[in-house]
Chain A
Amino acid sequence: MTAHITKAQLRHPDDFYADLLEAHEGRSKAESDAFNARLILLMANRIGDPDELKTLLEAAAKTKHPE
């Protein structure tokens, strides 16, 4: 399940990444947080399917980041 949902499928990864950073440029932390929240909600709506959304939440939660 996770495998299929987290398979690489961004067509232009570098372009998207650059767009994402650019969108945050010049924003305060609070503005960036709000932007991210809006983006997550828009993307969640595009995905729509509840099982996929749950899997994505789990995938994000499982990923470790050293403190």
Chain B
Amino acid sequence: MTKLFEVPLYPYKWSPDQETSAPVRHPVVIIGAGPVGLAMAIDLAQQDIPVIILDDNDKVSVGSRAICFSKRSLEILDRYGCGDQMVDKGVVWSHGRVFFGDRQVYNFDLLPEEGHKRPAFINLQQYYCELYLVERLRALQQEGKPVDIRGGNKVASIDQMDDHASLIIDTQGGAYRIEADWLIACDGAGSPSRRMLDLDFVGRVFEDNFLIADVIMKADFPTERWFWFDPPFNKDQSALLHKQPDGVWRIDLQLGWDIDKEEEKREENVIPRLKQMLGEDVEFDLEWVSIYTFQCRRMEKFRHGRVIFAGDAAHQVSPFGARGANSGFQDTDNLGWKLKLVLEGTAPESLLDSYGLEREWAADENILQSSRSTDFITPKSEMSRIFRDAVLDLSESYEFARPLVNSGRLSVPCVYDTSPLNSDDVDGLPARTRPGSPASDAPVGEEWLSDRLGDGFKLLALGLEIPERSDISGLSVEGISVADSDIGAELRSRYLGDAGAAIYLMRPDQHVAARWTTLDWAQIETALNRAIGKGKAA
């Protein structure tokens, strides 16, 4: 059987750009067709911004790589028009077991909060995620959207100008040059763009290696997440077993830093370990083995003039908590609408600096979370190990200790508490939807709030009546009025609390920009100006 990741999806094709005398200028060029570059292209194409993606390869990612896609990512992918494919294919799970040494200390059933369209997360191989994104791009092309994906196009050099970037691209048909008003580098953790521009990638909070194996079980095996602390088959390290679609199980074995990678990857070393994990008589096939090396770090600035970095190119974290691809989608969601407003002249260029601020802040949060998980999983001192072991020992009999067990905290979207785009909050409304927060989903009548909000700036009026459209600051803002009788328990507790009415100004990436308990159009205009970067500096 040909594996999905062996099929060329966007093979090299000659482009007319390759034989013009002067380089062709494009509004937006994206480097990298990983999940982040593809998502970025969809975001922009849906807004009718002409966009080109360049990738040196022509296939989806080899092996499963990122496997856990969070609710927030699914909400973003819904707006990108491919959430259903992901959820239909993905595995939803809620049961798990935690092992310490050679014993199981407890098992759990995650009971996710009710009243959300999407599950807390799904498991799905990265190659499926990329496939559905490519299919969505093809569908957009069919609709006539201005998007082009060029495989076999390797960016060889970048020249940064004041008002554009100039690229040299190597192909099998020779090298050619293009220019981009805006260049978005989504070229992964090893980002050649970063190197070409001689930019930093600081951090190295910690370094680790993981042996990653995709295994096909030949018999039934439960759809559960198993996590081992310090198991006999991987002393002083951790191990993770996770279900994926197509009967594929993903195994992560933490290896530490000083290892011989080639040696660890050999089947005769891998198979016995896996047998110890799964049980001697469990039959399986090994589909893919790889060693994944990471450091925790981020670029100091994500925007450098006309070049903007997103995804792994901008930040890298440990795999605990699945923050790689998930945070990358939040990057594209944050950048897409801002770039659109800047390109059409509605917002000043400085709005793009808020992309940097917000996403650098988010990257710090992700790095903090994944550092904490790592400190728990791999204690760095004797006392740290004593406490870690105490937590795990207690967790066997006492429920209170289980929330302390940290094998990776699920990726949740960052609240941009310090964003310059936020307006001051008012008293009396729930904290979880304060300015800077991502919208919490909730049922609204027969629909979901996440679907109702969609793209674009929105005014959400609860228990109040506002016009369906208002022209404010050159933007046409849709108003969504929800009558008192349609406000269910979830919407009330998430957006109203004890207040009788509220108005929310929502950004196109479904973060709260401002909110009030009474209607005041002057305040709304000030807040909207602020949210598009036209506000006075605080």
Listed in ascending order, the chain A residues whose CB lies under 8 Å from chain B are 33-34, 37-38, 40-42, 45
Contacts and interface: CB of A to CB of B under 8 A. Distances in A.
Contacts of A33: 386
B387 interface: yes
Given A33-B386, A40-B387, A41-B391, 16 more contacts: A34-B389, A34-B390, A34-B393, A37-B386, A37-B387, A37-B389, A37-B390, A38-B390, A38-B394, A40-B390, A41-B390, A41-B401, A42-B398, A42-B400, A45-B400, A45-B401
Contacts of A38: 390, 393-394
Contacts of A40: 387, 390
Task: Give the size category of B's interface with A.
Answer: 10 to 19
A33 B391 CA distance: 13
Interface in B371-390: 386-387, 389-390
A38 B393 CA distance: 8
A65 B387 CA distance: 23
Contacts of B404: 41
B431 to A, nearest CB: 15
B528 to A, nearest CB: 36
A40 B391 CA distance: 10
Interface string B497-510: 00000000000000
Contacts of B400: 42, 45
21 contacts: A33-B386, A34-B386, A37-B386, A37-B387, A37-B389, A37-B390, A38-B390, A38-B393, A38-B394, A40-B387, A40-B390, A41-B387, A41-B390, A41-B394, A41-B401, A41-B404, A42-B394, A42-B398, A42-B400, A45-B400, A45-B401
A37 B390 CA distance: 6
A33 B398 CA distance: 19
Interface of B: 386-387, 389-391, 393-394, 398, 400-401, 404
A40 B386 CA distance: 12
Contacts of B391: 41
A45 B395 CA distance: 13
Residue in B387, B390, B398, B404 with the greatest tally of chain A CB atoms within 10 Å: B390
A33 B383 CA distance: 9
Nearest to B398: A42
A50 B400 CA distance: 15
B518 to A, nearest CB: 34
Nearest to A30: B386
Contacts of A37: 386-387, 389-390
A41 B405 CA distance: 12
B383 to A, nearest CB: 8
A40 B400 CA distance: 13
Contacts of B390: 34, 37-38, 40-41
Contacts of B386: 33-34, 37
Contacts of B398: 42
Contacts of B387: 37, 40-41
Residue in A38, A40, A42 with the greatest tally of chain B CB atoms within 10 Å: A38
B57 to A, nearest CB: 48
Contacts of B393: 34, 38
A59 to B, nearest CB: 19
A37 B391 CA distance: 8
B58 to A, nearest CB: 52
Contacts of A41: 387, 390-391, 394, 401, 404
B434 to A, nearest CB: 19
A42 B389 CA distance: 14
Nearest to B400: A45
Contacts of A42: 394, 398, 400
A42 B394 CA distance: 9
A38 B110 CA distance: 25
B396 to A, nearest CB: 11
Nearest to A38: B390
B67 to A, nearest CB: 32
A37 B387 CA distance: 6
A40 to B, nearest CB: 8
Contacts of A34: 386, 389-390, 393
Contacts of A45: 400-401
B460 to A, nearest CB: 32
A58 to B, nearest CB: 18
A38 B401 CA distance: 10
